[in-house]
Structure 1
Amino acid sequence: MSDTAPQEALILREVALADAAACQALSRAVGWPHRVEDWEMLIGLGHGVVATLGEEIVASALWWPYGETHATLGSIIVLPAQQGGGIGKRLIHALLEQTQGRSQLLNATVAGEPLYARNGFVPWGGVLQYHGESRANAAPVLQPGETLRLGGPDDLPLLERFDTQATGLARKPALAVLLACGECIVLERDGKPVGFSVLRRFGRGHVIGPVVAANGGDAQILIAHWLHEQRGQFVRIDVPLDTGLEDWLMQSGLKPAGPVTSMVRGEKPVPSGPARLYAVINQALG
């Protein structure tokens, strides 16, 4: 591999918040739209490593703890000029060592899936990305007794309860950060909360997620509110397979951008319901 540096010259070290700009340049090199602020959120919430050659960061790999039993892995990037030389293998081994004792979850691209499979990950679902300029000219129609209200810091216990029902994971720190950096709405029916969704700046525009609701109709209300608010603007949403939202999202102006495979190494989380996840935070955080 003539274009890559010798493995002995590569140094893996802990990622730091000060690496956000360099990681943003790394993600831009592989066509990812992340801003520096997006990297700051990811690094601030998690742990992981960067690989350096001299002063240059040429690879990254992060993970985020969800309670004491699970972790999600993501932001695994190798600079294109350095791909194919075993750096990805070193990154995944570093993450597996750091998350030892936990079950590990990740969303794999087509290119990355064989590496993860060789390291014990098995498929258990998938995520579909949709993005584009919203054409939602009309606000969602609410039925008698239904209201949408803004969520705030006092709603964190509510969001945590719904999110745990939907994912089987303890994600309070991530939800707290989303409340701080994004906007949240809560759907209530006859005064009782039944779901929530979050909108925040990300990449080329805004991203909707997570969306947690008991059924697809409620999920559409929670998504349609943001699509209407952002009409004419670039919006992204990443939905798990089998939500039944695909055609509706395309009618709203969003286009499919390719699936990723959800994989697990260890025990899958067990959602208790009745709430269900209709959009992930992002592909890295799940």
Structure 2
Amino acid sequence: MPDSGKNDVIEYRAFTPDDIPAAHALSTAVKWRHRMDDWRFAARLGSGFAAVDQQGTLVGTALAWQFGTDAATLGMFIVSPGHQRRGIGRGLLDRLMAKLGSRTLLIHASDEGRPMCEALGFEHMGTIHQHQGAAFQPPLVSLPPGERLRPIGAKDTPRLVELASRASGLDRSELLPQLLDVASGIALDRDGELIGFALFRRFGDGHVIGPVIAPESPDESRAKALISYWLSLNAGMFVRVDTPLRYGLSPWLEGLGLPLVDTIEQMALDGPPSTDATLTQFALTSQALW
């Protein structure tokens, strides 16, 4: 269904792998750090829509990722700077919502996008702090007796899926194996039982730590130990961590040399997913994949 812009007509169609080079150029134009490989990974796991002008030029993107039958996340929302404020973002979001039907929908909304999401019924869940930097010297973080960090093994995948699903409230059975193909992992072990983990992978012009999942009780020391492990191995590399404000890691991350560079709102339609109160996801996989 076309939309009228100021000087042209916008057409909406399915996003395809052939759109990735133009989508990468679009994300670069709005100063996102995504590589072509980051776009390929996101598009392989999800689906969505492209907005193109009369010349066939890509001017907008929006993707979604389904987790089981009950929930989906929305992301990779971009509108070309020259085509903003013409209703293209709303057109993309309307089409994604219609395609996904009745389920919990999750989105990270910028200050500019929040009013549109609120108008569609999305409600505030929390705030995400994006930290990134390259000059850090993490301290050694002690773990409780009986707990240690160890490499993740091939046999750990079912347990990692279980922990990630419980902590996020989303079915991670398809996402986690795909992540493990492109990430390194460290496990938190308690007397032979895997109770948490953190992944480290290439993203943009650096690396991202996430997801980071661990028991919260009695404090966030386990999450700090998992994050410190990756920072200590990669001193001087550009690293990003996206963490919910409510878990209190932001002051610690800033103290390590990972300054706060952006804040974004978590929003949900039809309620937040139901999570396991004994586990916490201290850092996101990404703002698109949660």
Common topology (TM > 0.5):
yes
Query: Could you tell me which amino acid in structure 1 is paired with residue 185 of structure 2?
Result: C
Does 2:131 align with 1:130? yes
Alignment correspondent of 2:255: 251
Q: Distance in 1 between matches of 2:172 and 2:208?
A: 18
How far, CA to CA, are the matches of 2:123 and 2:48 in structure 1? 22
| 1:147 positional shift | 2.4
> Structure 2 counterpart of 1:44, which letter?
R
Give aligned pairs, total: 283
1:241 to 238, 241, 245: 245
CA contact (8 A) 1:197 1:208 kept: yes
1:152 and 1:179 in contact (8 A); partners too:
no
Query: What is residue 24 of structure 2 aligned with on the other side?
Result: 24
The C-alpha deviation readout for 1:95-130, integer Å capped at 9, x for no partner, is 111111211110101111111111111111121100
- In structure 2, relative to structure 1, the CA distance for the partners of 1:141 and 1:134 (3 Å cut) is farther
- Say if 1:134 and 1:235, in contact at 8 Å, map to a contact too: no
Q: Does 1:111 align with 2:112?
A: yes
Q: Structure 2: which amino acid aligns with 1:234?
A: F
Residue 151 (structure 1) shift: 1.5
Question: Are residues 1:57 and 2:61 paired?
Answer: no
Contact 2:143 2:221 in 1 (8 A): no
Aligned residue in 1 for 2:232? 228
Summarize the alignment of residues 82-231 of structure 1 with structure 2, pairs less than 5 Å apart: 82-136=83-137, 139-142=140-143, 144-215=145-216, 216-231=220-235
One-letter amino acid of the structure 1 residue matched with residue 262 of structure 2? G
Could you say if the C-alpha distance between residues 198 and 5 of structure 1 is closer, same or farther in structure 2, counting changes exceeding 3 Å?
farther
Q: Give the alignment's TM-score, normalised by structure 2.
A: 0.93
The AA in structure 2 aligned to 1:284 is A
Give the secondary structure class of the aligned counterpart of 1:242. Answer: helix
Q: Distance in 2 between matches of 1:277 and 1:117?
A: 25
Deviation at 1:285, TM superposition (A): 1.0
Residues 1:148 and 1:71: Cα distance change in structure 2 (over 3 Å): same
* Structure 1 contact 187–194 (Cα < 8 Å) conserved: yes
**Deviation readout 1:154-212 (Å, 9 max, x if unpaired):** 32211111112211110221111110001011011222212100000001200000000
Which structure 1 residue ranges, 4+ long, deviate > 2 Å from structure 2? 2-6, 136-147
- Tell me the residue number matched to 1:70: 71
- Secondary structure class of the residue paired with 1:260: strand
Q: Alignment identity in percent? A: 37
Over the residues paired in the alignment, what is the CA RMSD in angstroms?
1.7
